[in-house]
Structure formats: C-alpha cells, structure tokens
Amino acid sequence: MKNKAIFLRILKLVKPHAVLIVLSLLCAVGNVFSALFIPVLTGRAIDEMIGEGRVSFENIRHILTLFLIAFLVNAATVWLMTLINNRITFKVVRDLRRDLFAKLHSVPIFYMDSLGHGDLLSRIVSDVERLSDGLLLGFSQLFTGILTIVATLVFMVRINLWIALAVMVLTPLSLFAASFISKKTFKYFKAQAALQGGLTSFINETIGAVRVVKTFGYEKEENEEFNKKNEEFAKTNLKALFFSSTTNPVTRFVNSMVYAAVGILGAFLGVAGKITVGTLTCFLSYANQYTKPFNEISGVITEFQNAIACAGRIFELMDAKDFVDTVTDPVEAPKLTGDIEVKDLAFSYDKSKKLLYDISFHAAPGSHIAIVGPTGCGKTTFINLMMRFFEPDAGTILYDGIESDRIRRNELRTNIGMVLQDTWLKEGSVFENIAYGKPDATKEEVMEAAKKSHAHSFISRLENGYDTVLAPDGGNLSAGQKQLLCIARVMLALPPILILDEATSSIDTRTESKITKAFQTLMEGRTSFIVAHRLSTIRNADLILVMKDGNIIEQGTHDELLVKKGFYYQMLNSR
C-alpha cells in the first residue's frame, strides 16, 4: 500500500472527530496570533524607551497590560488545544484497537496461523501506539507550525517587504533538506516495524515454551537466535534514528542562516533609518518564530514516516479477507440429533499435495466413533472440517441429512462440544470459565458439571472456590486441573455431538478412569468422536476409523479390526 493511500486511510479514521478538529484549529489560530502579537508589543515597548526623556510610562503600562492578556490567551489556547488533540488521538486509537480485535475474530483461521502471535500482538499494541504518537505530534505541532509560518510571513511582509523576501528565498533550503531526509528514513522505519513484530513473536514463542527450552538445554541456542534477531533490529533501528536525527540539525542550520540574514539586513536598514530598533527586534523575533516551526515540522515528518510504516501493517491486517459464512439455502437454527454422514470428503491446505481424500462413513445418532492413526494422518484436519473451520475441496458432511454448508457456522457449533488436548482458559473466575459456553448457567448447574468431571474437589480447595480468579491461560493451575475445567465446560453445555481430541492426555491414570466413566454418562445418547491413542479409550467404540496418509484404510469395531489383522492390529501390537 502506497504512502498516499495510507495517509488517506488515516484521514478517514480521524473524520468522525471533525468537530473536535475544528475546535483544535480555532485554538491553534488563537495560539498563533497571540504569540505573534507579543513581538509587536515588545517592539513598541522598546521604541517607547529609546531616547533621553522620551520614556512614556503610560504607554508602557498599556503595552504591558496587552502583553499580559496575549500571554494568558496563548497559555489558555495551548492547554485547550493539547486537551482536544489528546482526546482525538486517544479516541482514534481506542476505535482502531477495537476494530483490530474484532478483526481477529472474523479472519479465517489459516490467516491467523500464517502470522506469528507475537506479530499480531505487535500490530495491535506497538504499531497502534506509534501511530498514536504520530497523530498526536501531527495535531499538536503540524497545525500550529503551518499557521505560524503563513501568519508570520504576512506580518513580516506588512512590516518590511525586503526582509520578508530574504526570509522566503532561504526557506526552501530547509524544506528540501527535510524532504530529502524523510524519504531516506521511511524505508528504515518500515523495516524496523517488521523486525520488531518478528522479535516480539520470537519472545512470545520462547516464553510460551520456556519449560521445553530448559528441558532440552537449548538456552544457549535460543539466546544466540535472539541476539541475532535483536542485533538486526538494533542495526535497522540505528539507521532509522541516524537519518531521522539529522533532520533537526540540518533545518536548524538553515534556520540560523535565515536569522543571521534578517539581523544583517535589518541592521543596514536600521542604520539607514528605514526601520526602528523596536521594529528590528520584532523582525528578529518573527524570524525566530518563523524558523522554529520548520524544526518542529521536520520532526513531525520524521515521526509521521514511522507512523505511516506502522499504519501500513495495521491496515494490512484490517484488509485481510473475512471468513465469509457462505450458506446455501440455509436451515434455521437446527437442533441436531447427531446423525452424521460423510461422503467422498477431500481437503488439503496446499492444493498441490493430497491430505484427506475419499473419506466416507456413517455415524448413527448416539454412536461413539473413534479415530486412530499415526501422527500427521489427518485426524485433527478432519475435526476442523466437521467444525467448519475449513471448507472441504470435494465431498460433503451431512448432519441429520442436511449438508454442512446449509447450516450457519455459529448454529452448527452450538450443537458440537469440543475438549482438546491443548487447554484454553481465560483470565477470570473458575465459574466464568466453566460457564463460558453457557453464560446464563446457575451456580448449581456449574457445580453439578464440575462434580461430573471430578473437578469439584480441587475447586473447593482453592482459596475462593468457584470465585477464584485464574491467571491468564490458567497459569496458577496444573495441566490436569486445567483439563478438568475444560471437560466441565462441555459437560455444562451438553451438546448433541461431542469431539474429544486426546481429552484425557493430561490426566493421571486414576483420574482418567473416573473421567472415562463420566464421559460414558455424558456420551449416552450423543454422537461422539474420540481421537485417542489409548486402547482403554477406543475399545468400546461403536465404530473405529483407522486413518493413514489422509485416507480411512480400515473401519469397524475393535473385535472386527483385530480379526482382520491389518494396520489397526499392527498399531496395537506395536505399543
């Protein structure tokens, strides 16, 4: 996305706050004109005091009164303008972060997988923060800077045209220097934003796997990889800072030339009697005020280059295609019984490589289906297709005789409960985590679900029982305890279809036997899909699907498959 397009997008973000922007501009006008009026008063006061016996205390008193009023107006407008600009910026950032977070829930799952979690975090937090800094500088200094330049020129032209012309001739040098340097800095700021996202992603990944790193003694390698990424980021950051930091000294040098030119030319005019000492003083003040905004604007341009680079990454996420819920001839809010038929299902992430193909079977309502097979054979991918996280390339899945693409995703998923090997708990109370899928559940219902999942006993031992607040991702619980809470969450919802993907992998053998009995009660009358490796979990299944290389190579009951002495038989004997 080009800079111009990004800038126009930023203006669209600001557009809803047009009233506040107008108020900010009015404050800027008041601030600039009160600031420009002060040198005029200073020049008049000097002229009133030059010459023996020519001091007019009455006029000086009047000038001082006007000076005080101008100072108060200047201070008040600065305070009010800062308040308004901060309000605009914070509102824009608030709305942007809200939209970005909502976007995370609307993009396809494969898009989320394609970006590192740290990179997404960097875009929502760091990049938005830098855009906020750029906007705040723009509102605070850009408006007043441009207005100061224009108004100062008008004042100087009215006082003396020749000095004003000298100022205008030298000014483009400052603009050229700022423009040249800003072009150089943009590419480094863009690279810096991307590298920071990668660095954040790496840190996030390492922190999440710190136990694995320590277990395998991989600390040295991780440090080396981090240092490599950090060094690359530091070099790019240094280059960006070097070029951006040259902007201010260069523009200051040019501005000093302008100030010197005004002083020399004014001195000659003063000696010739063309202007008074007070007017020359006023002109020198104007020259200083005129050149100061160029320094500020050059700083704003540099910061804004950084902000635009970050905004480009933000808009890239905002522009990602939403996962459209395509529903053909929709069926309204069906309450499924659990009759599931899969016909000639095929799917692959990379269309040039086969993953799942020719998947066909029928699951009667209330039946228990076990899915077994070696790692990478497509078990989890098949579960994702059942949940409509992805759409099949060919074939179909029918729920109660209804094609899956006729059922809206949210309505389909309310009929399916999942317990995965990887647990997920949010920062909140134990009660809130169990009631996540049924927010209107009563305390009694939650406790009953916890008792069935054998979680009630350890919850009761917590400091505040069901009101105990969990750390993010249940960090203050053991892996087994987190799994029990996830099982209780599904037991509370009681959907007609269950998917258990290695649901007892983190449970000890004794607790597993209790959970298995609880699952048997839960699964009565419900179609259940069990992805498991333990024989005790799959022995009593009504149908066992044996997958290998993306296809179902065997299916039948446990006893039937043993008689065949095929791949399933070999898997059991290899344990």
Whether residue 452 is predicted with pLDDT greater than 80 in this model: the reply is yes
Specify the range with the lowest mean pLDDT, choosing from 51-55, 58-62, 145-149. 51-55
Mean pLDDT of 27-52: 78
37: three-class secondary structure by DSSP: helix
Which residue from 413, 408, 465 is spatially nearest to 434, judged by alpha carbons? 465
Tell whether the model's pLDDT for residue 232 goes beyond 80.
yes
User: If you ran DSSP here, which 8-state letter would residue 354 be given?
Assistant: -
Query: pLDDT tens, 99-146?
Result: 888 888 787 777 776 776 777 877 888 888 888 877 777 777 777 888
Which residue, 286, 288, 282, 280, is CA-closest to 264?
Answer: 280
Q: Are 56 and 106 in contact (CB under 8 A)?
A: no
Per residue in 361-389, pLDDT (tens digit) is 899 888 889 888 887 788 888 888 888 88
Contact 396, 343 (CB under 8 A): yes
β-bridge mates for residue 531, sequence order? 371, 501
Q: pLDDT tens digits for 174-203?
A: 667 666 766 667 777 778 777 877 787 788
Which strand (E) or helix (H) includes residue 394?
Answer: strand 394-399
> In the predicted model, is pLDDT for residue 167 greater than 60?
yes
Residue 178's pLDDT is: 66
Q: What pLDDT does residue 453 have?
A: 80
Checking if the pLDDT of 402 tops 70, the result is yes
Q: Which of 31-35, 193-197, 532-536 has the lowest mean pLDDT?
A: 532-536
Out of 89-103, 337-351, 505-519, 558-572, least confident range: 505-519
- Predicted local distance difference test score (pLDDT) of residue 79: 92
pLDDT for residue 567 is more than 80: yes
Domain covering 3-318, topology: ABC transporter transmembrane region fold (1.20.1560)
* Domain boundaries defined on the chain: 3-318, 340-573
**What is the per-residue pLDDT for 198?**
78
What would the mean pLDDT of 259-287 be, rounded to a whole number? 75
Give the three-class secondary structure for 428. coil
pLDDT of amino acid 72? 92
Q: How confident is the model at residue 503 (pLDDT cuts 50, 70, 90)?
A: low
Q: Give 321's DSSP letter.
A: P
pLDDT for position 501: 80
Looking at residue 205, its pLDDT comes to 74
Does residue 575 carry a pLDDT above 60? no
pLDDT given at position 325: 67
Evaluate whether 3-318 and 340-573 have a shared fold. Answer: no
Instruction: Please state, rounded to an integer, the average pLDDT across all residues of the chain.
Output: 80
Would you state the pLDDT for residue 74? Answer: 87
- Helix residue ranges per DSSP H, 105-160: 109-114, 117-122, 128-137, 143-159
Whether 168 shows a pLDDT value over 80: the answer reads no
How far apart CA 118 and CA 424 sit, in angstroms, is: 18
Percent of the chain whose pLDDT exceeds 70: 88
Q: What's the half-sphere exposure (Cβ side, CA atoms, 13 Å) at 502?
A: 12
pTM attached to this predicted model: 0.65
pLDDT for res 508: 66
**Mean pLDDT score, 419-424:** 78
Task: Identify the band that residue 76 occupies on the pLDDT scale cut at 50, 70 and 90.
Answer: very high
User: Quick one: average pLDDT of 154-171?
Assistant: 76
**Residues 6 or more apart in contact with residue 431 via CB below 8 angstroms:** 443, 446, 466, 467
For residues 213 and 222, is the Cβ–Cβ distance under 8 A?
A: yes
Tell me if the domain spanning 340-573 has CATH number 3.40.50.300: yes
- Residue 195 is inside which H or E element, if any? helix 161-208
Mean pLDDT, to the nearest integer, of 207-225? 76
Distances (CA, A) of 168 to 174, 387, 416: 11, 68, 73
Q: For residue 505, what pLDDT is reported?
A: 61
